[in-house]
């Protein structure tokens, strides 16, 4: 019986490995990513104020804006606004990876 081997001689599958999705519910993984992203963003905001201006602060705490800019549609009696933006920092990515690792270990 194989558990964590990438290549198994006894099993017909070529790729047999310990898959986190098979052991955990996908909703729990999404929740861990969202919680890690929120905690990472809050920590990046507060810790970014402690570092002096320079390349280290820019690398870890300057957000990369990804998304769709705001689009306003004015219909006269109704104004609709659409937009979606993610602000991702390196520190947030590190915290999300740490959250997924902790979920995997538990």
Listing DSSP states for 14-70 in one string gives S-----HHHHS-HHHHHHHHHHHHHHHHHHHHHHHTTSPSSHHHHHHHSPEEEEEEE
Average pLDDT, the chain: 80
Q: What is the pLDDT of residues 70-81, one digit of tens each?
A: 899 999 899 999
pLDDT at residue 24, rounded to an integer: 59
Domain ranges of the chain: 26-105
**Residues facing residue 74 across a β-bridge:** 79
Q: How many residues does the chain have?
A: 106
Place of tokens 């992203």: 37
Q: Which of 12-16, 24-28, 54-58, 80-84 has the highest mean pLDDT?
A: 80-84
Q: What is the pLDDT of residues 31-49, one digit of tens each?
A: 888 999 999 999 988 988 8
pLDDT at residue 103, rounded to an integer: 83
């Amino acid at each position: 019986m194989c558990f964590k081997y990438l290549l198994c001689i006894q099993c017909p599958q070529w790729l047999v490995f310990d898959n986190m999705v098979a052991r955990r519910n996908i909703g729990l993984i999404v929740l861990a990513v969202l919680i890690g992203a929120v905690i990472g963003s809050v920590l990046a905001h507060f810790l970014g104020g402690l570092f002096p201006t320079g390349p280290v602060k820019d690398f870890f705490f300057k957000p990369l804006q990804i998304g769709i800019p705001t689009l306003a549609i004015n219909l006269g009696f109704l104004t609709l606004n659409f937009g979606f933006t993610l602000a991702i920092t390196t520190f947030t990515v590190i915290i999300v990876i740490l959250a997924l690792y902790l979920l995997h270990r538990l």
